[in-house]
Structure 1
Amino acid sequence: MRRTPPRRPTIKDIARRAGVSESAVSFALNGRPGVSDATRERVRRVAEQLGWQPSTAARALSGEGAATVGLVLARPARTLGVESFFLQLVSGIQEALAARRFGLLFQVVEDLGAECAVYRRWWAERRVDGLLVVDPRAEDPRPGLLDELGLPAVVVGAPDGPPGPPYAAISTLWADDTAAMTSIIDHLHTLGHRRITHIAGLPELAHTRRRMACLRAEAARRELPDVRSVTTDYSDAQGAEATRRALTGPRPPTAIVYDNDVMAVAGLAVAAERGLSVPADVSVVAWDDSALCRNTHPALTSLTRDTPAFGRRAAEHLLSLLNGAPPHRIQDATPTLLPRASTAPPPRGEDPAGSGAPHGET
């Protein structure tokens, strides 16, 4: 049964609890003269106890809503400046919102706890009418929190494991990471690769876990022992370091799959630094297509999709929720592998059956 969202505290609530008039509360909270220091302190203490926050939008004060949706990203800030996927996603989101004269409030935080704190503050301040939630995790607390607060949301990406409980105003928009990873392994296996390393992203994200699980399953199905995943923070620095470790191991991979374009380009540089040719010595695949993938030499084989359109659809589904539409679980198109010059058969003399340590992750 749908819970009634908690009521936001008001100036009237503060006045009642503090035993003063509403005008005295207004004077105290706005730093205006007309109340004693003791009253000002009491009012501020009560406001903090009640969780009151000032409304920052005139539309919210009039009860019309904020005409704004929020997006919080709990990822290392240093990785975002060159993260083409999110730039394209946000451009599509903004395009859909602008058509309806809605704004986008965006914030980067250090972890999931901070992200939940931002949601509570935005709710208390009436800053947003709804939220776009990215990077689902295992046992993700965010949908339950947003349902408790009564904030409509679209979760971009499928949860890890079975779908969570239905919520009154939370939709999910997702693409099939497992099918996408399978298409990459099919391509590399057909070319003859048996030693494959996956330079993955953040290990706590649901889509990272699905990609790694798919890689394990495909390696087991094809009896490929030299297939493994290595997790990173998505940055070029960690992507480069993971590539160096892979290429200096006792049985280096003949193909490397990167979870974004930035790490793939960094991997190209590391291969060149070691005197290796791509794709003659090692093949390279990027998860997300971008201008970087198309304009490097050689151009990178990558998964391609219309990411701005993906963002537009996410925003449009959220706007529908704000208009009273029921929530839905929507599967978007699976990204398509686009072979380019960075993949080719492995070097001659490589053992097609493979051997060595069992497949796994590090």
Structure 2
Amino acid sequence: MRRPTIHDIARRAGVAKSTVSFALNGQPGVSESTRRRILGVADELGWRPSSVARSLSSAQAGAVGLVLACETADPALMRLVAGFESVFGPREVGLLLQFAPRTELAVYHSWWHQRRVDGVLVVDVRVSDPRIALLGELGLPAVTLGRSALPSVSLDAETAMRTAVGHLARLGHRRIARIGRSPELVHTAEHTAAFLDAARAMAMESAVCVTAEPDAAEAVRRLLAARPRPTALVCDTDVMALGALGVAAQLGIRVPGELSVLAGEDSPLCLLPHPALTAVRVDLHSYGAAAAETLRCLLAGDRPQDRTFGPPCLVERGSTGPPVS
């Protein structure tokens, strides 16, 4: 089916194409009765503005980009994407998503040269992140989800770790450990520092951090083989926490009787095991929306302030309890 054009509207309404253009774009020079008649004809024909034509006239792409250095998207990322869409979707701004585990920088170069996007959102910010310098050099507007030299919206790591460690301290735990994501991530570095600070403030007997890479299950086994072993684990993600429950079951360690497990993010996955996982909840949909709103303001010519999103809250379930005395 051929899409209706302003020529079709002009012919049906009996006016010039220029008059139709003025009416549809809300410009002066058209009487109110003529404008209403033209809008009525446009509605009858099912006419919709062309995003291509609009981008050509405004020198804007009408899209923002997200490049992922992975091959698949996990549920947490999809909640962030839903938050992005809640801001850009109603404004008819498209979200261009590309998986590029080995060619991130090339994608940014291509998008900039081809004017494919007006700006980008950057996730999983790394400690020494070449994307930050490149985007600054290109002048491509960007907002990072995590602290960087670019405008950013970051999670409240201090409150998250104080909430998790405080919960375990109140239960009586004094030997705790944390399993984190890649140490290259800004997110991991901030949460590691916050975890150790909270443990010192609450006079923990011991508090250690290990990385889940390359094998989260093996990291859990090493922790549980230590003597004395930790009585509680804080896992950065829901998937890591589920893995910790699995390893504990294989080793015959009861949860929460002999080991408490706490997830650093909450999701429906936390409700699947028995016992269900205690978790620190962050509204990832709203976090994504906050980052998207910051990028929208940047594209509108404003200078958005860096923002810390939160605070997180504790959702207590069956996987945490007092340690065995």
Aligned residue among 65, 85, 88 for 1:94:
85
Aligned residue among 113, 117, 136 for 1:124:
113
> Is 1:70 the equivalent of 2:59?
no
Task: Specify the alignment match of 2:253 in structure 1.
Answer: 276
CA distance in 1: counterparts of 2:117 and 2:215, whole angstroms: 35
Offset, 1:61: 5.3
Aligned residue among 268, 286, 292 for 1:291:
268
Aligned residue among 223, 239, 246 for 1:262:
239
Offset, 1:238: 2.5
SS of 1:135's equivalent in the other structure is coil
How many residue pairs get aligned? The number is 274
Letter in 2 for 1:143: I
With the length of structure 2 as denominator, give the TM-score of the two structures: 0.78
Task: Specify the alignment match of 1:10 in structure 2.
Answer: none
CA contact (8 A) 1:280 1:347 kept: yes
Offset, 1:327: 2.6
Letter in 2 for 1:123: W
What pairs up with 1:119-158 in 2 under 5 angstroms? 119-158=108-147
> Is 1:309 the equivalent of 2:277?
no
CA contact (8 A) 2:163 2:280 kept: no
Task: Specify the alignment match of 2:181 in structure 1.
Answer: 201
Task: Specify the alignment match of 1:54 in structure 2.
Answer: none
Task: Specify the alignment match of 1:227 in structure 2.
Answer: 207
CA contact (8 A) 1:284 1:343 kept: yes
SS of 1:298's equivalent in the other structure is coil
CA distance in 2: counterparts of 1:202 and 1:346, whole angstroms: 29
With the length of structure 1 as denominator, give the TM-score of the two structures: 0.70
CA contact (8 A) 1:239 1:264 kept: no
RMSD in angstroms over aligned alpha carbons? 2.1
Q: For residues 85-121 of structure 1, what are the alpha-carbon distances to aligned partners after superposition, in whole Å with 9 as ceiling and x for unaligned?
A: 211111111222211111111123335xx32222111
SS of 2:322's equivalent in the other structure is coil
Offset, 1:71: 0.8
Task: Specify the alignment match of 2:99 in structure 1.
Answer: 108
Offset, 1:59: 6.1
Letter in 2 for 1:346: P
CA contact (8 A) 2:67 2:97 kept: yes
Aligned residue among 241, 250, 255 for 2:227:
250
Q: Which blocks of at least 5 consecutive residues in structure 2 are unaligned?
A: 1-51
CA distance in 2: counterparts of 1:119 and 1:102, whole angstroms: 18
CA distance in 2: counterparts of 1:344 and 1:308, whole angstroms: 30
Q: For residues 149-195 of structure 1, what are the alpha-carbon distances to aligned partners after superposition, in whole Å with 9 as ceiling and x for unaligned?
A: 22111111224xxxx4xxxxx52112211221111111111211111
CA contact (8 A) 1:203 1:232 kept: no
Offset, 1:72: 1.4
CA distance in 2: counterparts of 1:222 and 1:318, whole angstroms: 38
Letter in 1 for 2:303: P
> Is 1:85 the equivalent of 2:61?
no
Letter in 2 for 1:93: F
CA distance in 1: counterparts of 2:304 and 2:188, whole angstroms: 25
CA distance in 2: counterparts of 1:283 and 1:154, whole angstroms: 37
Offset, 1:320: 2.0
Q: For residues 241-284 of structure 1, what are the alpha-carbon distances to aligned partners after superposition, in whole Å with 9 as ceiling and x for unaligned?
A: 21122112232211011110011111111111111211011000
CA distance in 2: counterparts of 1:106 and 1:314, whole angstroms: 16
SS of 2:243's equivalent in the other structure is helix
Q: Between the two proteins, what is the percent identity of the paired residues?
A: 44
> Is 1:185 the equivalent of 2:171?
no
CA distance in 2: counterparts of 1:109 and 1:227, whole angstroms: 36
Q: Which blocks of at least 5 consecutive residues in structure 1 are unaligned?
A: 1-56, 165-169, 349-362
CA contact (8 A) 1:197 1:256 kept: yes
CA contact (8 A) 2:175 2:231 kept: yes
Offset, 1:58: 6.9
Offset, 1:229: 0.8
Range with bigger deviation, 240-249 or 276-285: 240-249
Letter in 1 for 2:115: R
CA distance in 1: counterparts of 2:165 and 2:280, whole angstroms: 12
CA contact (8 A) 1:88 1:307 kept: yes
Letter in 2 for 1:195: R
CA contact (8 A) 1:260 1:288 kept: yes
